[in-house]
Amino acid sequence: MPACAYITHPSSLLHEMGPGHPESPQRVRAIEQTLERVGLLARMTHYQAPAASDAQLQRVHAAAHLRVMGDKSPAIGYRAFDADTVMNPHTATAARHAAGAVVLAVDLVMRGEDGDDKRGAMQRAFCNVRPPGHHAEPARAMGFCFFNNVAVGAAHALAEHSLERVAVIDFDVHHGNGTEAMFADQPRVLMVSTFQSPLYPYSGERPLGDNMVNVPLPAGANGTHLRNAVQDVWLPALEQFAPQLLFISAGFDAHRADPLANLNWVEADYFWLTRQLVAVANQHCGGRIVSTLEGGYALNALAASAAAHVRALLED
């Protein structure tokens, strides 16, 4: 069984954007409770996420964006970037720890051990953190996202671990516009994604670079459409690129129960998809995968889908 890290932070439960907002602290709780109930949490090694540093964030974000995050952070109440993306007094801290979780995950899987505390080599990691990140652009918070967690981690892997090629796989139902904006035409990064189209943020149909392999899916698409996209498009691109580390933007809002979209995936689809990515990682990356939570807003479906994803990560 590959060693898998579970990374989270208490600040993920303190950031919230107002009553009734779908991107709520209950998302993290639901996933953790389900992982515990089905026995998966006990099979993982637990870590608390550090806060990402300014230097780590500024590999993909403008310094001005960090200043705006500090200036907008309220002492009490809420401050909004837009109608959907709102800060409370804990948001800036939670966002730094969410990005820092992916940085730590990279260090764990690349170093093969976690330094002084000898809990053993980590091959994979799942970051159960929020706010999510893949909509955050270099100088803009949007779509529930403040810092682009997966992009911060990928840039860290390239800068600090001397990698030549990393791949980002994004299966959230919404296009990861921020990640694409950060890495378009960067030859050391391949991004492959599926997303419902048309749907927020109304991008991705025309990729910004040759290293962006986007597969828009129409409303109503199901697991068969997913499998076709993966087998016909993703896997050949990944095979040709031969990544040294896989990152997963793990959004579970393509599930048929999710209230914010209209795709029809089920838990078995997430398990199958993750197993395909494990096979790619085993062939090219020494099995190394870093996965971080993005969307998913129907709590029961989110938790069950995340559990299917983690179960697949825990298998060779």
How confident is the prediction for the chain on average, in pLDDT? 96
CATH number at residue 248: 3.40.800.20
Confidence bin at 115 (pLDDT 50/70/90): very low
pLDDT given at position 114:
47
CA dihedral sign, ordered 112, 114, 117, 119 = negative
Active site includes 135? Answer: yes
Q: What is the tens place of the pLDDT at every residue in 249-291?
A: 999 999 999 999 999 999 999 999 999 999 999 999 999 999 9
Residue 113 confidence class, pLDDT cut points 50, 70, 90: very low
Average pLDDT over residues 23-35: 98
The predicted-structure confidence for 129-144, as pLDDT tens digits, reads as follows: 999 999 999 999 999 9
- Report whether pLDDT(95) > 80: yes
pLDDT of the residue at 121: 79
Cα–Cα distance, 20 to 26 (Å, whole number): 11
Residue 117 is predicted with a pLDDT of 55
For the beta carbon of residue 257, count every other beta carbon within 10 angstroms. 18
Q: So what's the pLDDT on residue 116? A: 52
Q: What angle do CA 107, 109, 113 make, to 5 degrees?
A: 80
Q: Provide the domain limits for residue 133.
A: 4-313
pLDDT digits (tens, 9 = 90+) for 296-316: 999 999 999 999 999 999 998
- Domain count of the chain? 1
**Choice among 135, 175, 284, 309 that is catalytic:** 135
